[in-house]
Structure 1
Amino acid sequence: MKQGDIVGLKYRILKRIGQGGNSTVFLAENMVLSNLWAIKAIDRNNPSAIHEMQEVNILKGLNHHMLPRIADLCEDEKHIYIVMDYIEGETLSEILKAEGRIEESRLIDWGKQLCDVLIYLHSRQPPVIYRDLKPSNIILGDSGRLHLVDFGTAKPFKEQTLEDTVYIGTQGYAAPEQFGWGKSDERTDLYNLGMTLFHLATGTHPAMVAHDEIERHLELCGISQRFSSLIKDLVRHDPSKRIGDARTCLTLLNRLDRSHHHGSGSVRSGSFGGRLSLGITGVVHGIG
């Protein structure tokens, strides 16, 4: 497709704005309403098209301010076109490249926003597991609000499944269970979140760091012991020892946020096991 082409009789292609393995995303204008939309063009002859169409089936049932809406669906003999909200802004990977390491207080705010959308996704019936949380899939809009995009790897959680049948994720961010060591569930997204926060905090891609070196890298970059402990508890190899759910993670981030403003409290690191204990000295991880 090229600039000026018409999709679905009413969308004029303006430019290409993204490229994936099996699809291309274009910026388009609705010629009737004169508003802008993102259009994902999927090659219908590609065997992977069925996985790309899963994005439509998932997004059409979601309604959250951090998620794009599906507005229309068009097709021709070569492509299927998904028309969705155009979210103007920069990806976190672009911001990291331009600005360098992100300061901790800003990361805490971003982490809280991401927990909010994960709480929403994981509360669906069945829960929606995103499986590819990373800086390039998160857009910071002009209002300062984050937006999660690209649901091509998301899937509904199936309780009876013993392991993932298709290994999907991005090296460095993906949890061990995404590569045959079990099945993805809500804790998989939390592992992805932890590695995303690590990358933004240190400027180092998690694929370039040995897992047992994560704490040292965070310390060298001046990350507080509290925030470092939270990240470590998100990225434990054993899902049963990670922070157990996004709501608990949000609670911990809220306490971190308050401690940044008041400068009090302490954290003792350890295997989290998904349990939360709050005391007058701060957050204490349970042993699991």
Structure 2
Amino acid sequence: MIEFNLNHGDESTNSCNHYPDFSAVGYQVIKELGRNSEGGRITYLANHINSQQKVVIKEFCFADITADWSGVKAYEREIQLLQLLNHPRIPRYLDSFETPGFFYLIQEYKKAPSLGSKRCFHPEEVKQIALSILDILVYLQQHIPAIIHRDIKPENILVDEKLNVYLVDFGLAKLQDFKIDLSTLVAGTPGFIPPEEQFGHGLTEASDLYSLGATLICLLTNTHAKDISKLMDDNYRFNFQKLLPHLSLSFRSWLKKMVEPNQKQRYANAADAFRELKPICVLASGKKIDYLVSAIHHKETIAMLGLATLGILATLGTNLMVYQPGDAVNSNAQLKLNITDTFPKVR
């Protein structure tokens, strides 16, 4: 543990900007990037003094939560595992250190705002973002054992102006295994947490898909993460399809499968979800067949009408086959009788 005073809250710290002084470990804070007061986290943009490389420093305050540092030690071990990852769209973890009451992560900086900021994307761009994140998840799930992010949400996805996508904040959910109540800091955000995690069931490769699906639905409906509950019904199922009539049935069905509460009804893994999404047309074509298929998908009564229609066609076929010239009157009477039998009068 580094034994130096960071002077948190001291007005003399780092000139007049009130930022902590990290010069003892080789970093100088440039500005604050974000703050989660409830979670006890602050994120800074900083320079590495020797190389002038920009980095992200994440500060975790545990002083007011627990004096037991075993959870932080486990988190350090998790970071060491994540440092072995090598993916161009996963910002690398560069270093970590701790001080009395605080723990710090040093991470590669990417000049890209998060999806948590107010931004609008075309549905085709949302699809591109989805494929990029799924590609990252495929990479993570290929590890043995598979790495589950556990905290996918708009704030943890960075997208630059060229639609380069980065996934950040790995390994935090590991802290939920400890008895100390740190899960609210790292285990995810309500609405994005898969149901199996909320109920203490085992996580699978389908768990991150739920969180990604919820994130995509927020983007497509222009819903802020804190308002995600507005997209759910009383059974905590996402009810978004009527809000997105301009999207193709295939894309809406894909999204629906991503956020199925039962993980066994989702795609089994990121590779399956990626393969299914790639050929899908995002926008509805406007063809009559799209509306017909959509109606059949959402209205169970249409299925009964379809069966009745088949009955009519069968009746028509039979009458045409036995039709003889001069039997028009009898044939028409028989057809009228058959139709009446097929659709009994509604009283």
Matched residue, 1:126? 145
Matched residue, 2:269? 245
Candidates 206, 213, 235, aligned match of 1:187:
206
Structure richer in strand, relative to its length:
1
For this pair of structures, how many residues does the alignment match?
255
Uncovered stretches (5+) of structure 2, i.e. residues with no partner: 1-7, 9-17, 178-182, 298-347
> What TM-score do you get using the length of structure 2 for normalisation?
0.65
Matched, 1:30 2:57: no
> What TM-score do you get using the length of structure 1 for normalisation?
0.77
Cα distance, 1:36 vs structure 2: 0.7
Matched residue, 1:215? 241
Q: Give SS of 1:249's match.
A: helix
Larger Rg, first or second structure (1 or 2): 2
1:81 and 1:151, CA in 2 relative to 1: closer, same or farther beyond 3 A? same
Candidates 90, 100, 110, aligned match of 1:87:
110
Cα distance, 1:88 vs structure 2: 1.2
1:196 and 1:225, CA in 2 relative to 1: closer, same or farther beyond 3 A? same
Cα distance, 1:6 vs structure 2: 2.6
Matched residue, 2:83? 60
1:17 and 1:51, CA in 2 relative to 1: closer, same or farther beyond 3 A? farther
Contact 2:41 2:60 in 1 (8 A): yes
Matched residue, 1:231? 255
Q: Give SS of 1:28's match.
A: strand
1:251 and 1:24, CA in 2 relative to 1: closer, same or farther beyond 3 A? same
Q: Give SS of 2:206's match.
A: helix
| Higher normalized contact order (CA 8 Å, seq sep 6+, divided by chain length) | 1
Distance in 2 between residues matched to 1:52 and 1:138, nearest whole Å: 21
Q: Give SS of 2:247's match.
A: coil
Matched residue, 2:327? none
1:138 and 1:212, CA in 2 relative to 1: closer, same or farther beyond 3 A? closer
1:182 and 1:77, CA in 2 relative to 1: closer, same or farther beyond 3 A? closer
Contact 1:140 1:146 in 2 (8 A): yes
Cα distance, 1:51 vs structure 2: 6.5
Matched residue, 1:15? 31
Amino acid across the alignment from 1:235: V
Distance in 1 between residues matched to 2:143 and 2:137, nearest whole Å: 10
Distance in 2 between residues matched to 1:77 and 1:41, nearest whole Å: 12
Q: Cα RMSD between the aligned structures?
A: 3.1
Distance in 2 between residues matched to 1:51 and 1:136, nearest whole Å: 24
Cα distance, 1:73 vs structure 2: 2.4
Q: Give SS of 1:169's match.
A: coil
Offset from partner CA, 1:193-239 (integer Å, 9 cap, x none): 111111111123432122252322333xx222111010001111111
Structure richer in helix, relative to its length:
2
Distance in 1 between residues matched to 2:106 and 2:238, nearest whole Å: 43
Distance in 2 between residues matched to 1:256 and 1:250, nearest whole Å: 10
Cα distance, 1:152 vs structure 2: 4.6
| Deviation larger for 229-238 or 81-90 | 81-90
1:212 and 1:30, CA in 2 relative to 1: closer, same or farther beyond 3 A? closer
Distance in 2 between residues matched to 1:144 and 1:215, nearest whole Å: 25
Segments of 4+ moved more than 6 angstroms: 262-270
